């Protein structure tokens, strides 16, 4: 599986689609999705972007629980995510949540790298994995809110 990452271009329209329910089924429903996300956050905790997240283990665990619920919902599972969006479109709300943090392309690539690692450990159909990957690869572009001149820097190879 390629797990391709394409560059975020400022102000470029991002087309994304939520993962297919086939992914949710293949990963093992709510329980499987929670396992995947907990693993992902354990990898994040050891990554170069750990400083974006609470350093206190208990607080970090709360983030883990909340994020897992979001991913269960966005993958077509039950609506378990308790958001504070006040009726706002959930995708829009999720972009706004990230505005509280300074996220650049490097942070996005590190985040995706953690997700890639967690996904690689899953023994499910590659095509189904790719469907989930396409969602996170695209949607993560919308969380990037800090840009700099990347001409002399190419993290893609
Ligand atoms: C597909 C892309 C992404 C999705 C779907 C996503 C999803 C989420 C969700 C559901 C939350 C919790 C919101 C809540 O409070 O209810 C969250 C928080 C957060 N995300 Fe993301 N995220 C994505 C990409 C990223 C990236 C690339 C970064 C880079 C650093 C990032 C950093 C954070 C941080 C720092 C928080 C706040 C944690 C806290 O509560 O202290 N996210 N994200």
CATH number where 79 lies = 1.10.490.10
Q: What band does 2 get if pLDDT is binned at 50, 70 and 90? A: confident
Number of domains in the chain: 1
Domain limits at 84? Answer: 21-143
Q: How many residues does the chain have?
A: 157
**What are the tens digits of pLDDT across the range 21-69?**
999 999 999 999 999 999 999 999 999 999 999 999 999 999 999 999 9
70 lines ligand 1 (CB under 6 A): yes
Span from the CA of 98 to the centroid of ligand 1 (angstroms): 6
Which residue shows structure tokens 């690692």? 117
Rounded to an integer, what distance in angstroms lies between the CA atom of residue 141 and that of residue 95? 10
Span from the CA of 93 to the centroid of ligand 1 (angstroms): 11
Span from the CA of 111 to the centroid of ligand 1 (angstroms): 9
Do 123 and 136 touch, CB atoms closer than 8 A?
no
Q: Given a cut of 90, is residue 149 above it in pLDDT?
A: no
pLDDT of res. 157 = 62
Asked if the structure places residue 84 within a domain, the reply is yes
Asked if the structure places residue 135 within a domain, the reply is yes
Asked if the structure places residue 1 within a domain, the reply is no
Asked if the structure places residue 55 within a domain, the reply is yes
**What are the tens digits of pLDDT across the range 4-21?**
999 999 999 999 999 999
44 lines ligand 1 (CB under 6 A): no
Asked if the structure places residue 83 within a domain, the reply is yes
Q: What band does 150 get if pLDDT is binned at 50, 70 and 90? A: low
pTM here? Answer: 0.93
Rounded to an integer, what distance in angstroms lies between the CA atom of residue 77 and that of residue 80? 8
Q: What band does 153 get if pLDDT is binned at 50, 70 and 90? A: low
Asked if the structure places residue 102 within a domain, the reply is yes
> How deeply is 154 buried, as exposed, middle or buried, from its count of CB atoms within 10 A (0-12, 13-18, 19+)?
exposed
Asked if the structure places residue 31 within a domain, the reply is yes
Cβ neighbours of 35 (radius 10 Å):
15
Rounded to an integer, what distance in angstroms lies between the CA atom of residue 111 and that of residue 103? 10
Asked if the structure places residue 101 within a domain, the reply is yes
Rounded to an integer, what distance in angstroms lies between the CA atom of residue 43 and that of residue 133? 17
Do 55 and 32 touch, CB atoms closer than 8 A?
no
The pLDDT of 148-155, averaged and rounded, is 65
Q: What band does 83 get if pLDDT is binned at 50, 70 and 90? A: confident
Percent of the chain with pLDDT over 70: 94
54 lines ligand 1 (CB under 6 A): yes
Rounded to an integer, what distance in angstroms lies between the CA atom of residue 3 and that of residue 116? 7
């Amino acid at each position: 599986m390629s797990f391709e990452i394409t560059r975020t271009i400022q102000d470029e329209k991002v087309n994304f689609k939520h993962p297919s329910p086939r992914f949710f089924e293949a990963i093992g429903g709510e329980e499987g999705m929670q396992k995947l996300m907990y693993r992902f956050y354990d990898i994040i905790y050891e990554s170069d972007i750990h400083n974006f997240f609470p350093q206190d283990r208990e607080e970090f665990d709360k983030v883990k629980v909340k994020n897992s619920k979001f991913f269960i919902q966005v993958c077509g599972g039950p609506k378990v995510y308790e958001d504070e969006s006040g009726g706002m479109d959930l995708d829009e709300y999720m972009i706004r949540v990230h505005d509280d943090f300074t996220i650049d392309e490097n942070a996005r690539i590190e985040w995706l790298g953690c997700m890639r690692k967690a996904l690689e450990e899953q023994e499910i159909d590659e095509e189904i994995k790719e469907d989930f990957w396409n969602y996170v690869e695209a949607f993560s572009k919308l969380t990037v809110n800090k840009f700099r001149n990347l001409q002399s820097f190419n993290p893609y190879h």
